[in-house]
Amino acid sequence: MAHCSSFLNLSPLSQRIKEQHHQSMMLSPVHSRRRSLLSPHSLLLLRIQSFLTSHSHPSSSTQPSKPKSYFQPKSPPNSIPHLNPLHNPKAPPDYPNFDQTTVLQTLSCYANDWKRALEFFTWVSTSCGFRHTTESYNRMIDVLGKFFEFDLAWNLIVQMGKSADSMPNHVTFRILFKRYVSAHLVNEAVSSYHKAHEFGLKDEVSFSNLIDALCEYKHVIEAEEICFGKNANVGLCLCVDTKIYNMILRGWFKMGWWSKCREFWEEMDRRGVEKDLYSYSIYMDIQCKSGKPWKVVKLYKEMKEKGIRLDVVVYNTIVNTMGRSDGVEFALRLYREMMESGCKPNVVTYNTIIKLLCENGRVREAYKVLDQMQVKGCAPNVITYHSVFGYLEKPREILRLFDRMTGSGVRPRMDTYVMLMRKFGRWGFLRPVFVVWKKMEEHGLSPDEHAYNALIDALVQKGMIDMAREYDQEMLEKGLSAKPRADLGTKLVSGGSENG
């Protein structure tokens, strides 16, 4: 199922809209320099900036005024003004024209501030002539549901039903189900399923979405009751198929109730449920996580006997499990079998093989697999390089691989820099620590508390106390948590309490 978290991939334009919304009264030279770097959509951005600035500065007066809302909603935030879906007013010439993508991404900017999101949602429609679609309504409903503003969400759903361009769809109700169940409002989620009938959406898709939401947020007992209890299917009139069984099995897996997983797996056999690829894939994960790799092999053989065509996810599970229990040679044999069967390995497959080889001291062979990835069109990711970094023992070799990583377009994460600085620090090599620190700054990353602590630990280990104290003070000025250290006089004594 698609998750709403995928909405948070924001463009620079939408991020700047949010920053201007909150900071238009505090523009600084640094702020202006950062703004000048934004070349995409610069014309629209400048118009938005101009609008926000003109609507955010209070008029000159001797009396202080209350902060104004930048989007000027015509109703208090606890209510939603009626948005006539048939009316599409023409935006004033000095107002920016918004397209669908910008509206969606701006709403995502306000994912943690439902009042601001609702103000923008209303303003862009009533003042800028934007006609909301089902997708933009769904985005707003998701934000409201995140903060349990379900009454406002239902008001929007009612408005959606008044226009053919914005009718509720299965995604609308899937969002509702997930937000209700995440708030442990199971009865309300079930009630929403029944209300879907008003929009012709009370069907098998909505039923699957409801069960999926219940299992996703660990309300598996309620999901089982709906499907198999005394009042099962009352008012539902839907058959419970393999897909539903798989959802419930995955729900028990998420809860970590291994005995219940086994009971349910056996119950599927007793009920005559035809297990498919996804059933076996889930149960393989269960056996792997519960520490029973031999049962993973048994399931693997059972799938082959039934003629179930294995996919890359199943192969990845079996390669990882058997590689750790029976050794890397067994994993390589499965890898070759996977290739011969026509199943194309993905980056997870290669990462697993590379890590297993490195763990067994076969780093040169891991390099060969890394080279194969690029030849076969599978781009390495940051985890691929992490798998190798952990087993290299020479600073120069690590830095060469790091340069290869960045040169191939793989962007290091903050934990990449921290891992390397800690590694060099433990070895007593201070120069490579600063090389990595400089590369981190060159790549535009601001060090977090883990990066500062790794650098300070390396300095303390080399006896450079004064420099370590400077970096310790710098991180404190940034509001980051410094690790207490006796060498810097920041470690508490007398059992962790201060006297006097």
pLDDT score of 142 = 96
pLDDT score of 5 = 38
pTM over 0.75? The answer is no
pLDDT score of 235 = 57
Kindly report, residue by residue over 9-32, the tens digit of the pLDDT: 444 445 544 454 444 433 333 333
pLDDT score of 242 = 94
Kindly report, residue by residue over 192-203, the tens digit of the pLDDT: 999 999 999 999
> Six-digit token pair at 6?
């995928």
Q: Is the pLDDT of residue 362 over 70?
A: yes
Question: Where is pLDDT greater, at 482 or 311?
Answer: 311
Kindly report, residue by residue over 456-484, the tens digit of the pLDDT: 999 999 999 999 999 999 998 888 888 88
> Six-digit token pair at 316?
């990845």
Under a CB-based contact definition with an 8 Å cutoff, are residues 81 and 87 in contact? no
Q: Is 333 exposed, middle or buried (0-12, 13-18, 19+ CB in 10 A)?
A: middle
Q: Is the pLDDT of residue 238 over 90?
A: no
Highest mean pLDDT among 34-48, 92-106, 403-417: 403-417
pLDDT score of 170 = 96
Every domain of the chain and the residues it spans: 241-305, 310-391, 413-488
